[in-house]
Amino acid sequence: MIDSKLTIFTAPKPFVDPHISVIQYNAVRSWKALGSDVSIILIGNEPGIESVAKELNLAYQPNVTRNDQGTPLISSIFQLGRTYNASPLLAYVNADIILFNDFLETSTQIAKTFPEFLLVGQRWDMDIKERIDFKNGWDINLKKECAKTGKLHPRGGSDYFVYPRACFSEVPDFAVGRAGWDNWMFYQARLKNWACIDTSKSIQIIHQNHDYSHLPGGQPHYRLPETNENVRLAGGRRTIFTLLDVNYESTGEKVIKYPWNWEKIWREVEIFPLITLKSKQLAQIFFAIFHPKRAYIEFRKWLANRDNKGR
């Protein structure tokens, strides 16, 4: 077992497509550059994962549980990440995300104040076609290039989740790489009354742009049937939380209550029945009040599905 402050775990895509291979290698190399305080585990037996783990002297765990479609399950991935060592902090990070030193610094600093928390944040999208030369100053140069050509992704989900070992000991059997499960992480943190902290201002991450050719039919993950199953396992569409649903923000110097505006106020009122009263029925009623058109469309789809099943 290895002593470290934080363990990063991920389930990469196959290292087959040349561009996917490049961006995943870049990502993992950036994590390794965080130093000996960070342990890294690559999970899954997809082609190329084991060889990259050996090359970079990283932990490798091929025996991940999968669903009927052969997709690794988040429950198994999180358990494998948890059991590798005794680090106080755990982090799931998507395998195309470049990290910098502020990732570890911010995580360990926040852990001194909050016993239970979830760190999430926005990403910068950037086109990177070649392997990065990780020589001295690589991070400064890449940040400068990102400031010129990168684009800040809209506030939606998160590509990383950092939390103490005491949190997320049980996770549903979500399919990795499909939509819905990451939104459940936000929801679960708020439901448990943990600090759900937006660290976008204190942690910069870079997402290396890519296509969806690795997914069935080349479709975006949110259009796949496994996404529907993820949403069902999460507890339904009302559990689709985003960065709007955090309750704290890290400014880089301190953690404060997330600033209120009218959008935030109305959203907190909307989710109050779900996270405070623990009532999915009331949550559905509140959703219909706040979003009558969307509620009507959902109702029509529900009727159509019921009629199809009855035939």
- Reported as a single tens digit per residue, the pLDDT across 100-146 is 999 999 999 999 999 999 999 999 999 999 999 999 999 999 999 99
Say if CB 252 and CB 201 are below 8 A apart.
yes
Residue 51, Cβ neighbours under 10 Å: how many? Answer: 11
Residue 212, CA distances (Å) to 42, 159, 218, 277, 293 in order: 21, 16, 5, 39, 31
Say if CB 73 and CB 173 are below 8 A apart.
yes
**Is residue 2 over pLDDT 60?**
no
Kindly report whether the global pTM for this prediction surpasses the value 0.85.
Answer: yes
Helix residue spans in the chain (DSSP H): 18-32, 49-55, 74-83, 101-111, 138-149, 181-191, 225-234, 262-275, 280-290, 292-310
For residue 136, with 0-12 CB atoms within 10 Å meaning exposed, 13-18 middle and 19 or more buried, which class applies?
A: exposed
* CATH number belonging to the domain at 6-248, selected among 3.40.50.1000, 3.90.550.10, 3.40.50.11540, 3.40.920.10: 3.90.550.10
Residues of the chain with CATH 3.90.550.10: 6-248
- Reported as a single tens digit per residue, the pLDDT across 30-55 is 999 999 999 999 999 999 999 999 99
- Please tell me the distance from the alpha carbon of residue 280 to that of residue 295, in angstroms, as a whole number: 14
- Placement of tokens 């690794």 in the chain: 72
Q: What is the pLDDT of residue 213?
A: 60
